[in-house]
Amino acid sequence: MSEIWSAEYTAEKGDVPLYMFRKHEGPPDAANPRPVLFLVHGSSFSGPSGFDLTVPGRDDYSLMDAFARLGYDVWTLDHEGYGRSGRTDGNAPISEGVNDLIAGMDVVEKETGQTSHFFYGQSSGALRAACFAAARPETVRRVVLDAFVWTGEGAPTLIERAKKLDQWRASNMRPVDRAFYHSIFNRDLPGTSEAAVPDALADAELQLCSEVPTGTYLDMCAHLPVVDPLDITCPVLILRGEHDGIATEEDLIAFFQLLPNQDKQFSIIAGQAHVAPLGLNRRRFWHVMDGFFKMPARRDPYEDEDRQKIEERRRAGGRS
């Protein structure tokens, strides 16, 4: 088994530098490129903190390592205002996250020569990934939307979060501390993650920042929906933890039914809450996601016909 190779990069979004991180099993070989998997983080911690976490006494919490060993060229970035990336006086809403991804793709293409990739987004990262898939369909081969929300109707987490809507509107940044990171893992159902994980995440993230942007919280409390399912034409996997309060199953199923590409999957991970990559059942999550990305090619004669049907469904829904 080869050692995991890693490298750091910087994407430029105008005057804002965006930190990027990459992992690969052994050094990349331009003659034998691996498919790119791009990981999109959520509202409260940066890319490497969540996707490449080290937990004391454990060696299997890095999603980046796991998927590098499964054969992917794994990338992530810190969105504007997060981690090691630059900040502005804005609040980094979901729409700005799409611009971050556009800037990041320039680096990925330069380094890999590839222009179409697999994407995974978690929580508000799933909203960023969905909006990016709608805006740049040629860049997205398949996308996994984990801990996604569409309208937010009836979502316990968002109902509680909206009680601070005036705070999200009044300031472009919100404080984070150790207690906050513990709350992420305990708000849905305590016991679905190991006790050491919140502190490990806090240790990683709090050395980088003590506050994060409010834009995604504001979007999820006041501006949903931010994406139309009819605009996402690539294959989609909606992945949901059984106990996740960020959305209701009814909300997600309604979104799923409107996705025009019938190459789509909806998976609920039993015993899982909000942060699938860091839960006790993370290996089940890896299994589902890897299987979706490695779906064998179709062999039936109707694929071209189905592509036409995608456009017919979009037009029937009022999209051009």
Q: What is the pLDDT of residues 198-214, one digit of tens each?
A: 999 999 999 999 999 99
Tokens 């409107």 correspond to what residue?
258
Least confident of 99-103, 154-158, 264-268, 308-312: 308-312
Q: What is the mean pLDDT of residues 213-227?
A: 98
Q: What are phi and psi of 165, to 5 degrees?
A: -60, -40
State percent of the chain over pLDDT 70: 99
Asked if residue 1 has pLDDT above 80, the reply is no
Q: In whole angstroms, how far apart are CA 273 and each of 64, 73, 269?
A: 20, 27, 9
Asked if residue 78 has pLDDT above 70, the reply is yes
Structure tokens at 122: 């978690």
Q: By C-alpha distance, which of 137, 9, 17, 155 is closest to 80?
A: 17
pLDDT at 319: 79
Q: What is the mean pLDDT of residues 105-133?
A: 98
Digit-coded pLDDT (tens) for 19-61: 999 999 999 999 999 999 999 999 999 999 999 999 999 999 9
* Residue 216 DSSP class: H
Strand stretches in the chain, DSSP E: 4-13, 16-25, 36-40, 73-77, 117-122, 140-146, 173-175, 211-213, 236-241, 264-269
Instruction: Say which residues have a Cβ less than 8 Å from residue 18's Cβ, sequence separation at least 6.
Output: 10, 11, 12, 77, 78, 79, 80, 85, 86, 100, 103, 104
For the CA atoms of 62, 86, 148, 316, what is the dihedral angle to 10 degrees?
-130
pLDDT at 238: 98
Domains in the chain: ranges and CATH: 4-293 (3.40.50.1820)
Q: What is the mean pLDDT of residues 252-268?
A: 98
Digit-coded pLDDT (tens) for 134-185: 999 999 999 999 999 999 999 999 999 999 999 999 999 999 999 999 999 9
pLDDT at 320: 66
pLDDT at 304: 92
List, as one string, the DSSP characters of 146-159. ES--SS-TT-HHHH
pLDDT at 108: 98
Distance, CA of 211 to CA of 173 (rounded, Å): 6
Side-chain-facing half-sphere of 215: CA atoms under 13 Å = 22
On average, the pLDDT of the chain sits at: 97
pLDDT at 131: 98
pLDDT at 317: 84
Residue 190: cis peptide before it, omega within 30 degrees of 0? no
Distance, CA of 240 to CA of 192 (rounded, Å): 14
Collect contacts of 13-17 with beta carbons under 8 A, ≥24 apart.
13/80, 13/99, 13/100, 13/102, 13/103, 15/86, 16/80, 16/85, 16/86, 16/87, 16/88, 17/85, 17/86
pLDDT band at 318 (very low <50, low <70, confident <90, very high): confident
pLDDT at 2: 83
Q: Write b or e for each residue in 258-270: b if 16 or more Cβ atoms lie within 10 A of its Cβ, otherwise e.
A: ebbbebbbbbebe
Q: ∠ CA 121-33-300 to the nearest 5 degrees?
A: 75
Whole-structure pTM value: 0.98
pLDDT at 110: 98
